[in-house]
Structure 1
């Protein structure tokens, strides 16, 4: 393994963010925690903290918890795991009933901002300053965990998305990674002509197809308008939006997606890639680990940056973090900070580097089992835009998911989809007055 210093801050746009870990100091046991947290370890009252995380990508967590509890015998950690969409729902339900855990995993952008804006998360601004997070985490990841000038979470992952494909499929068809949007579309038809489903996308939940929609928006709208659409500073009833939805309709009609993809689970669509029955899937820096978990070799796959024909050519990026309950008692908050910094420390990242994902930490080892991590992070060198379901308010993002499906099912025209989005934005903005 070679040591690699991740310095994306200077190259990712500040306006962007927003599926590894970050933090602490560079030792397995964080020694820069607050004094009261240290007192918890040395004879204080027993503290139990609850943590909600995803059930995939965290296979290493039980061992890390055991190590932490051995070093910190007065702190115990209770972990509950959820699938992606269920954890979003469980957190919202818990927020409304005031039963949030002491600490939880979430995403940057509008997903994490909900809890910060409603006073549910601990303000970590002073902790970040005291513990010198700017020297530990990528600044972009910190920025994507910050709302209204307050640091709201401990950065875990900084993720970049790309278009993955089985090498065998491309070699058999004599294809190379496309350099232009026209080449990309030509390859979709070539794949289809050879009885290979071009795009392994499942639209159940909406977010999988959204990753393609946002790339089409970047292509047709360009970076400036795309950012204004996401910040709700431009009308979605725009020709560029209509063109993007038009491509979803066109690709559906041409059979570029799996049969019945509007209701297909993304994991089912993903299986087509392993079978080499599909040509391309849009996944991120975590996907090497996903491939291994499913019993395949990541070296049998490769990845390219979506050719959006823009200069600079931006990648889709997002961050993930741990938030801490603002209402939980101080001892639990201090223990949660210590545990979060421990999980995101360089020593922990390096110990589990093959399974950890794409860390938000500045310094860590690159594993031979994650051969696509560096190329993906490098692909964001020209900048990035925040992934749509973190950039948009959640009710507007849900309307985007609905619009995608209605276009695919021929219930809405692309123009009606653009109009529907614009109405949803207007309704959302009227509620904020």
Structure 2
């Protein structure tokens, strides 16, 4: 009996101590908060390249919201994608993360990992704050699954000085484009600054060639898996990749070249053309160059309408986070995409999905690129296709370049990958 009394006393002592500690902790949280609410800590993952402004913006947000702490983690592109995959599989995703649209961003809502923001968008009048295309590209299965951040348009960039030296101007036809590639090569300049490590950089050229040879209607059907990839237009596309490789139009060893290294060749004018988007003014400035010394043109094709490669980027919120964290994440996401923040950091922000922002003189190519998509756009390939099919495309590009597959074999393997994907969906 004495043992039970002693045990009961011990339990009561522990409980009392725990309550006291909990009370003290709550009091400390409230004392550290101007609003008297417990402090909320949220984790945010983003890219680092082109995002130098973010740390300052987060500090401003924390100053204005002393009840919220933001744990910011930033990665390079490919490590970021890999870390997100690992976190998704281990159910350790952060409270909020940056991602792309299409099949990259859809993975998380399709697997029940994101917060449904449809009602938030309605209550907070997102239709008055964000570009409709960006909202649409952040919507999956009828539900808004991300806070729109960027609306990006890709184009072909070139150094003005180099083009003036060689008496070249932006091409308007595909034949003119190919003639320029030869002129650049004949003058000791690598025509195309592409690095295929990771696959996505070269993919940007592959998709433009496919748009040219297939035309908009077939291109869309291919991306929607509604047409066979074992098609003459696909074969012609891979034939061009092989032709440009054989002619030395890409940097030597480009199949394993990091895109950032290819970018440096472009700045040095040892390479002539690079396919980048509305964020690239910021990249140029960040690397110590003047954006005004470069210009951009839409990939030249006789197809009508002439469409640009486009994609949206967003901030998704963890559906498993507790409501207080979700509320704080919404507040942070809307702050980071507000006109106030966009205009403050416009020189580095990229191409905002936010309406009503002021275009900066230091980002002179955003508006021309956005204008180039007025006739329409196609969703960039690594967001349009299922990821396992995207990986097969990356493999096909490399194997064609390395003479391991013929263009016909590349097209056949693409169709096999599509068939394998479809069979898993039944």
TM-score, length-scaled by structure 2: 0.92
Which is richer in helix? 2
Q: Offset of 1:43 from its aligned partner?
A: 2.1
User: Which residue is 1:179 aligned to?
Assistant: 172
User: How far apart in 1 are the matches of 2:271 and 2:224?
Assistant: 34
Where 2:289 maps in the other structure, the secondary structure is coil
Within the candidate set 318, 322, 327, 1:325 is matched to 318
1:220-239 alignment runs, 5 A limit: 220-239=213-232
User: Which residue is 1:398 aligned to?
Assistant: 391
User: How far apart in 2 are the matches of 1:346 and 1:92?
Assistant: 32
CA offsets 1:142-196 (integer angstroms, 9 cap, x no match): 0000000000000000000000000111001100100000000000001001110
Where 1:308 maps in the other structure, the secondary structure is coil
User: How far apart in 1 are the matches of 2:170 and 2:425?
Assistant: 44
| Contact 1:41–1:75 (Cα < 8 Å) also in 2 | no
Within the candidate set 37, 45, 55, 2:38 is matched to 45
Q: Offset of 1:273 from its aligned partner?
A: 1.0
User: Which residue is 2:18 aligned to?
Assistant: none
Q: Structure 2: any 5+ residue segments left out of the alignment?
A: 1-32
1:161-240 alignment runs, 5 A limit: 161-240=154-233
Within the candidate set 401, 415, 423, 1:430 is matched to 423
Q: Offset of 1:283 from its aligned partner?
A: 0.3
Task: Please say if 1:341 is aligned against 2:334.
Answer: yes
Within the candidate set 294, 301, 320, 2:294 is matched to 301
| Contact 2:282–2:363 (Cα < 8 Å) also in 1 | yes
CA offsets 1:205-254 (integer angstroms, 9 cap, x no match): 00000000000000000000000000101000000000000000000000
User: How far apart in 2 are the matches of 1:432 and 1:370?
Assistant: 44
User: Which residue is 2:21 aligned to?
Assistant: none
Task: Please say if 1:314 is aligned against 2:290.
Answer: no
User: How far apart in 2 are the matches of 1:431 and 1:415?
Assistant: 25
User: How far apart in 1 are the matches of 2:79 and 2:109?
Assistant: 20
| Contact 2:50–2:286 (Cα < 8 Å) also in 1 | no
Task: Please say if 1:255 is aligned against 2:263.
Answer: no
Where 1:204 maps in the other structure, the secondary structure is coil
Q: Offset of 1:41 from its aligned partner?
A: 7.2
| Contact 1:107–1:320 (Cα < 8 Å) also in 2 | yes
| Contact 1:111–1:394 (Cα < 8 Å) also in 2 | yes
User: How far apart in 2 are the matches of 1:41 and 1:353?
Assistant: 31
Q: Structure 1: any 5+ residue segments left out of the alignment?
A: 1-39
**Alignment length (residue pairs):** 394
| Contact 1:217–1:226 (Cα < 8 Å) also in 2 | yes
CA offsets 1:347-390 (integer angstroms, 9 cap, x no match): 00001111110000111011110011110000001100000000
Which structure is richer in relative contact order (CA contacts within 8 A, separation 6 or more)? 1
Within the candidate set 124, 130, 133, 1:131 is matched to 124
User: Which residue is 2:30 aligned to?
Assistant: none
Which runs of at least 4 in structure 1 moved beyond 4 Å after TM superposition?
A: none
Q: What is the RMSD computed on CA atoms of the aligned residues? A: 0.8
